[in-house]
Amino acid sequence: MSTPLDHEFVRAVADAADRSAAPLAADPDGQLAGVTHRALARRVKTLVAAYRSPDSSLHGSGHAVVAATAHLGALWAAQTATGLFAGGDNVQSPPDSAFTVNDVCDAYVLAAGAGPELRDVTAVLAEIAGAASASLLTGGVHTPNHRWELSAALARLHRSFPDGRLLDRVEQWLAEGVDIDAEGLYSERSAVYASIVTNPSLLLLAEVLGRTDLLDAVERNLAATLDLITPDGTVETVHSRRQDQRLSFALWPYLPHYRLLAIRTGRGDFARAARLAAADGIEDPDLLAQTLLTPDLCRALPAPDAEKLPRDRYLPTARLAAHVSATAHTVVYGGSDVPEHRRIRSGLACNPTFLRLFAGAAVLDAVRLSRVFFDLGPFRAADMEQLADNRYRLTQTLTTAYYQPLPKDRRRDDGAYRLVDEGRFSAAMAFPDRPEDEVSHTTRVEVDLRDDGADLRIDISGPQVPWALELTFRPGGVTDGAIPIGDGRWCLTTGPMTYRAGDDEIHVEVAVEAGEPLAGPDRSDVLRYDPGQDYTVVGGTDATTGNRVYLGGLGPQTLSVALRAHRTAPAF
């Protein structure tokens, strides 16, 4: 017996497409100014899907055909002589063009089966796809996920316009191996690129090529992501190596993948994630086209598994741990790439947040530790050790040096020495040739994750330098027990304090075990976040926003911080 259709879901995706497509159909020429080639292709795909879908208000609409034709004209005009598309930061980009061609090819499949009314649309889509084929066949990439987006475009081209060379090129890219680790995370560790690029690309490649190993990779990634879903309907990104590492990223882009695999495998945990992803309604206009291309998405979900609490997960490859109970959802993170690479760089995990705590409406978005040590920036653990169940130690040792005169055989009469980066700054000083006097500073943070929050023990050793622990609470709550110091900032000395949002709260207590007393509110030189010279040298910062509570002093110092959540309702 076949699984019944989920009519409510089908209507919802059609409504989402209509909210996007109806204004385009009503005034196609007035909607084209400044639209990128990727958005043009996506709009064409949505318009054709709405024309095809019996559940859309634009089913069989001539206005939808006119709008699709107008957008195709603009898209054709954006295609250069190479077949690649103009516009965007990346010049003549094969992967950026692949995003567009993927939608063009999907729109072609939908239009080709729609009857004579879409004959001209189908022909133009075929022309655009054909013109791009040669450049995509030979083009290169510059990020890990681009390989799979480009491969998906080549596979889609082959699906509609068979050419063995396209498949040979796909196999060349896939021969590098999918960049998924033992825990199910892709190398970029990014929710954005996993959900929008890699997973949909691998699902398409699995379908076209009959590669079950690619389907297995997607399932592994979705399974890993289950433990990264936070109570506010977002996916944890603090460990990402891409732009989303400082952003909040919603769960809803994962909806079609969790839904499809839940339906095909019967996994109740994926069904629960699919329901969470759709909990706030369906707004993605592209889902309608996806349901037409993959009808399994329209089938009813299996029964979702009940949430099992408490639960915990440690991902050693990303050095990220999460503990979830009915009271608190707590994340501890020690997987920054900065200690190894000694630089802030696009493509590296740079976020210095090492702990987050959700307690219903009360959210501690970031805990960071700033040290003023040769302007090397805040604490980013170089090592994360699991001491016991739900107990972890994060450690970072910073080392820099003062340099002695050059040995006689290394001196130059003209004083023109090599410009060298010594890990902190660059200078024409031939640093590797000089004797050096090292200066070191070590920070250790032990975290005990509890059902109601976390206990921190922070040990700062080395020379006497200012430090500040920054607790950034999500706006919308009230701070009680800390001293206001202006600009959305507070000072905490001996505590305790409470951050309250509605009926939920996070309680903070601090005790100094060794070292000087904590700094008072008059110590503005200490109670601040220092992003480090990699940011300040170009006038930038990675500072948080929100309600920031500081405690600080002069190290060496050892202190304990107790974070306790109090909730009036379960976390989920």
Note the pLDDT tens digit of each residue in 525-543.
899 999 999 999 999 999 9
Alpha carbons 264 and 3: distance in angstroms, whole number: 10
- Report, in this order, helix, strand and coil percent for the chain, each rounded to 5: 35, 25, 40
Tell whether the torsion through CA atoms of 56, 62, 65 and 69 is positive or negative. negative
Are the C-beta atoms of residues 199 and 149 closer than 8 Å to each other? Answer: no
Q: What is the pLDDT of residues 133-150, one digit of tens each?
A: 999 999 999 999 999 999
Distances (CA, A) of 137 to 133, 164, 168: 6, 11, 9
HSE-up (13 A, CA, CB side) for residue 399: 6
Which residues, other chains included, contact 37 with Cβ-Cβ below 8 Å and sequence gap of 6+? Answer: 75, 78, 79, 85, 86, 87, 88, 97, 100
Any residues with CB less than 8 A from the CB of 9 and at least 6 apart, and which? 278, 282, 297, 298
Enumerate residue ranges in the chain where pLDDT < 70: 1-2, 88-91, 569-572
52 neighbors 21 (Cβ within 8 angstroms)? no
Torsion sign, CA atoms 212, 214, 219, 224: positive
DSSP helix/strand/coil, 229: strand
pLDDT of residue 115: 87
Domains of the chain in start order, with CATH, are 7-298 (1.50.10.100), 311-398+440-566 (2.70.98.70)
Separation between Cα atoms, residue 110 and residue 249, nearest integer Å: 30
What pLDDT score does 423 carry? 82
Rounded to 5 degrees, what are φ and ψ at 523?
-95, 65
What pTM was computed for the model?
0.94
Give 242's Cβ-side CA count (13 Å radius).
16
Q: Report the DSSP pairing between strands 547-554 and 489-491.
A: parallel
Closest CA to 84 of 106, 104, 66, 107: 104
